[in-house]
Structure 1
Amino acid sequence: MSERTTTTATQRWTLALAAVGSFMVVLDLLVVATALTAIQRDLHASLESLEWTVNAYTVSFAVLLLTTSAIGDRIGRRRVFIAGLALFALASAGCAVAPDVGWLIGLRAVQGVGAAAVMPMALTLLNAAFPPERRGWATGIYGSVTAIGVLLGPALGGAITQGIAWPWIFWLNVPIALLAIPLVFRHVKESTAPARPDPVGLALGGLAVLGVIWALVRATAAGWGSAEVVTGLGGGVVLGIAFVAWERRTIAPMLPMRLFASRAFSAGSTAVFFLNATATGAIFLTAQFLQAVQGNNPLEAGLQLLPWGVAPVAIAPFAGALADRFGERRLVVAGLFVEVIGIGWLAAIATPSVGYPPLAGALTLSGVGFALAMPAVTKAVVSLVAPADIAKASGTFSTMRQLGGAFGVAVAGAVFAATGTLANPAGFTKGFVAAMLAAAAIALAGALAALGLHRHRATVSASPAPRAAAGFPAPDGKSDREPAAARRTAPPRNSAE
């Protein structure tokens, strides 16, 4: 039976529109990278200001993910998704006409707010639309479209900047969002999970993430031992502990701690943190290596990064189905080990005189690892969560992913600053190699974390049993598993039920 005949029109529309929203968000994480030189020239920006054109988006995105997930539960996930698309389009238009770098940074932060509304709602609406046994396939398709954003980001940014002008990297979002909004109204079903508001949890969680993210993105410029970074990191950790303590005792938590009683949820959230840290740190520094050491212009550098993005686009649709068949753990662990090999290979061959074919091979292998692991770890974390908790689980997953990205860039930058220099190709290469070895070590940590995922296959049915098998407690905090005696003595169900 074909995929078309086993999915409804509503499911196909939901999948398509969720993927489009995610595509825009991921695209804007990377499209700016190859346009920074032109932005610096036109807006007379300092190096630190350029860093914040990237970091402002990441910070507001990561800080508000849990908040938007909680709001979506309360007022409607479709409503929040549409609001996020509208805000993202409005902020994108503002970025395109920003008169100076200060306005650009501020509007990039607003873009991040829109992204924080779009990304977790896209994943939540997708999981709500598909039954458990079809989520692996749907997640694979969703992941492949999202991966196109990763594939096109650097190349598209370079092409638009050279061919037209850098503001058009932002104008690109506006027609996509304006076309998507009425289609979401028409074809996507609303879903909610009514719950009491948790303002204390929202404040503690948001401030904890803000402290940690701020410390990570400022660590390279200010120094890991600076008062600013130590205070941000320490304050974030303390507030995080307070957040956990509060969520454990409040009657209506924004993030139920019972989710972390699941080995799949905890291990998968940790694995995606390290997976995204490796990928983000490696890609951002590799883009600079291709320009500073290899002498490419922004467009050429973006095009030479394409092998990394081709693998996610090609493999992601099948990765979800493979996870359904073989289980998430095998794919996530295998993917992260392949990532270790690919990034390690990149470190081993990186010299000022290295040819492009070996670099393309290492980038391709790294992309294969990412493509195998990401759809599988996404499914492991959110596909078996109770419907009432899907938005919260998706928000947590997305927060861990963005935290990982910021962590990866910060670590790569710190290692590069300690071992290399921007002064000449040899000095840049020395720092690049050390940073890639650090990225490979992060991927190895992710593979070890993924060993905590369940060994059995992940194929599931529409019954409540899969959640129990995965170790998720019921929403009341009790186990979904019935005692064996109760199962034996339970009367047979009527066929009409």
Structure 2
Amino acid sequence: MPAASDTKGDLTSVLTACCLAMLAVGDNSTAIMAALPDMKASLHLGPAEVEWVVNAYLLTAAVFIVVGGDAADQLGARRSSVAGIALFALASLLIALAPSGFVVVGARALQGLGAAFAVAGTLAAVSEAAPDSRRAEAIGAWTGFLMLGFSIGPLVGGAVTHYAGWRFIFWLNVIAMVPAALMLSRHPGAGGRRAMSMDWAGLGILAVFMVTLISGLQALAHVRVDPLAAIVPLALAVIAFIALLRTETRRPQPLVDFALFANRNFAIAAGLLFLVMFDIMTLLLYYNLFAQSADGLGMSAIAAGLSLLPLSIALFAFARAAPSIGMSIGVRRMLTGGSLLLALGCAIIFLSFQIEARFAVLMPSLFVAGVGIALIYASAPRLGLATLPQLQAGKGSGMLNSCSFLGGTVGVTFGGIVFAFAGFPGVLVLLGVSALASAALCLRLKAE
């Protein structure tokens, strides 16, 4: 049995590495939003290519996050973590050196694959390294650094793009991920429980479903000109979903366990995570495009990042406060209130563009929206996993994360259609409707 000091040192090293990796993953998710206008100009990207720079990452992560959880169980959490972190760093290097938009999109897909294994693996590694008495504290630190990176991303992305160029955002990922991988590789941890097995049929059909769905939704923007470009992939997406449902419900150990959705709280939590990621990714992308355009607010990248500081502060502060708030007023009330705050924030942002003193109203409204997002994002996973047996926790976590990433992808895609026809005010209306849908879902929860 290892000495207590050895266990403490091992936990400190593993937790430091995992938190550093999650800080980079969280920052990467949102920092790129501030850089997209500069990337669009320097790489000569069209509107669809800009969407794919975001969606390639989210789609790949959505498909493989479930696989990442299984890999952590079967191959060993720290081995899986190191593989994911190394892949993320390699993809970031490729993006930093990319000569074209095609290379960026491909490397972003690779980055999403790395993120899927890194997120699932590091969470399992922290749980494995921590003794029972410190496990909740260690997981709280892991979650806190992921949310910290997510919340500071807009400011970091704006500042780095303004002073060093958008490529340096991805150099920062390399700088953070290399020492994280080296620290984890020194502590191989426990081996996997069994040889790696894979539901290749489920994985393939899931990938086909998600790619055809997003391709079809993107093509809706030009449906009057070329209706088949939307109809064909959407029809294939429906066929793929039916095939996925039939295949996975017949397997003893499916990659996508649809039986989990029979649990009402789990299904509602999945819906909430889909909608909240729909909102945050859409808001950040199209706010930055609007804020940095000559027809919009005409801001520089750093000014746009600074203008999102109230949102960032709210995300970080209320993600940490969410457990206490939930204990005080109940999770159902907190999630419903968070959804309504998000809808209210979007409504006030919309109104701020109709008055002269827009920034005096815009800043507090971004804070209000951030509070709503944080309360939902930090609490929905706990809601979904609380009623599942311990043996299903890993699978359930992967499914919830997959729904979250898919929501971000669908949001970016739908937001692109609305942004093209109705501008950023139209996007805000879309986000308000999504937030009200979240509130309606919360009302389906059982009263505590």
Aligned to 2:244: 243
Distance 1:343 1:382 in 2: 29
Aligned to 1:410: 413
What do residues 363-402 of structure 1 show as CA deviations (whole Å, max 9, x unaligned)?
0000111121211112112355434333322221111111
Distance 1:85 1:185 in 2: 11
Contact kept? 1:132, 1:383, Cα under 8 Å: no
Q: 314, 329, 335: which one pairs with 2:338?
A: 335
Contact kept? 1:40, 1:50, Cα under 8 Å: yes
CA positional deviation for 1:44: 4.0
CA positional deviation for 1:268: 0.3
Q: How is 1:233-272 mapped onto 2 (pairs within 5 angstroms)? A: 233-272=234-273
Return closer, same or farther for 1:187/1:314 CA change in 2, 3 Å cut-off. Answer: farther
Q: Which amino acid aligns with 1:166?
A: W
Contact kept? 1:196, 1:252, Cα under 8 Å: no
- Aligned Cα RMSD in Å? 3.0
What do residues 405-454 of structure 1 show as CA deviations (whole Å, max 9, x unaligned)?
12222222222323x3xxxxxxxxxx322221121110111122133344
Moved more, 378-387 or 284-293: 378-387
Equivalent residue of 2:38, what SS? helix
Equivalent residue of 2:198, what SS? coil
Which protein is richer in helix relative to its size? 2
Distance 2:11 2:235 in 1: 44
Within the alignment, does 1:448 sit opposite 2:440 as a pair? yes
Within the alignment, does 1:170 sit opposite 2:162 as a pair? no
Return closer, same or farther for 1:72/1:367 CA change in 2, 3 Å cut-off. Answer: same
Q: Which amino acid aligns with 1:164?
A: A
Distance 1:92 1:105 in 2: 11
Contact kept? 1:284, 1:409, Cα under 8 Å: yes
Contact kept? 1:223, 1:229, Cα under 8 Å: no
Contact kept? 1:92, 1:171, Cα under 8 Å: yes
Aligned to 2:92: 92
Aligned to 1:182: 182
Aligned to 1:365: 368
Distance 2:325 2:191 in 1: 29
Return closer, same or farther for 1:360/1:255 CA change in 2, 3 Å cut-off. Answer: same
Aligned to 2:230: 229
Moved more, 77-86 or 28-37: 28-37
Q: Which amino acid aligns with 1:371?
A: A
Equivalent residue of 1:252, what SS? coil
Contact kept? 2:288, 2:304, Cα under 8 Å: yes
Distance 1:363 1:452 in 2: 27
Distance 1:439 1:224 in 2: 27
Equivalent residue of 2:66, what SS? helix
CA positional deviation for 1:224: 11
Within the alignment, does 1:29 sit opposite 2:21 as a pair? no
Contact kept? 1:144, 1:315, Cα under 8 Å: no
Distance 1:66 1:78 in 2: 17
Distance 2:133 2:377 in 1: 18
Contact kept? 2:17, 2:181, Cα under 8 Å: no
Q: In percent, how many aligned pairs have the same letter?
A: 29
Distance 2:325 2:12 in 1: 21
Q: Which amino acid aligns with 1:253?
A: P
Aligned to 1:160: 160
CA positional deviation for 1:403: 1.1
Larger radius of gyration: 1
Aligned to 2:205: 204
Distance 1:15 1:315 in 2: 23
What do residues 264-318 of structure 1 show as CA deviations (whole Å, max 9, x unaligned)?
2111001111111122212222222322322211110111011111112112222
Contact kept? 2:205, 2:243, Cα under 8 Å: yes
Moved more, 175-184 or 379-388: 379-388
Return closer, same or farther for 1:127/1:265 CA change in 2, 3 Å cut-off. Answer: farther
CA positional deviation for 1:47: 4.3
Equivalent residue of 1:376, what SS? helix
Contact kept? 1:308, 1:366, Cα under 8 Å: yes
Q: Which amino acid aligns with 2:257?
A: P
Within the alignment, does 1:439 sit opposite 2:431 as a pair? yes
Aligned to 1:110: 110
Q: Which amino acid aligns with 1:442?
A: S
Contact kept? 2:248, 2:256, Cα under 8 Å: yes
Contact kept? 1:145, 1:313, Cα under 8 Å: no
Return closer, same or farther for 1:48/1:438 CA change in 2, 3 Å cut-off. Answer: closer
Distance 2:225 2:80 in 1: 37
Distance 2:112 2:63 in 1: 9
Q: 341, 344, 347: which one pairs with 1:344?
A: 347
Equivalent residue of 1:253, what SS? coil
Return closer, same or farther for 1:372/1:36 CA change in 2, 3 Å cut-off. Answer: closer
Contact kept? 1:287, 1:305, Cα under 8 Å: no
Contact kept? 2:43, 2:101, Cα under 8 Å: yes
Aligned to 1:295: 298
Aligned to 2:280: 279
Distance 1:163 1:357 in 2: 27
Distance 2:263 2:340 in 1: 24
Distance 1:198 1:327 in 2: 39
Equivalent residue of 1:31, what SS? helix
Contact kept? 1:273, 1:403, Cα under 8 Å: yes
Distance 1:311 1:343 in 2: 15
Aligned to 1:144: 144
Return closer, same or farther for 1:47/1:270 CA change in 2, 3 Å cut-off. Answer: closer
Within the alignment, does 1:311 sit opposite 2:314 as a pair? yes
For structure 2, list consecutive stretches of 5 or more residues without a partner in the other structure.
Answer: 1-6
For structure 1, list consecutive stretches of 5 or more residues without a partner in the other structure.
Answer: 1-6, 421-430, 457-497
Distance 1:408 1:388 in 2: 32
Distance 1:191 1:455 in 2: 42
What do residues 169-228 of structure 1 show as CA deviations (whole Å, max 9, x unaligned)?
111011211111133345684475648532222222222222223334554466798323
Contact kept? 2:151, 2:311, Cα under 8 Å: yes
Q: Which amino acid aligns with 1:410?
A: T
Q: TM-score, structure 1 length as denominator? A: 0.79
Return closer, same or farther for 1:87/1:129 CA change in 2, 3 Å cut-off. Answer: same
Contact kept? 2:70, 2:395, Cα under 8 Å: yes
Moved more, 22-31 or 75-84: 22-31
Q: Which amino acid aligns with 2:244?
A: F
Distance 1:257 1:56 in 2: 25
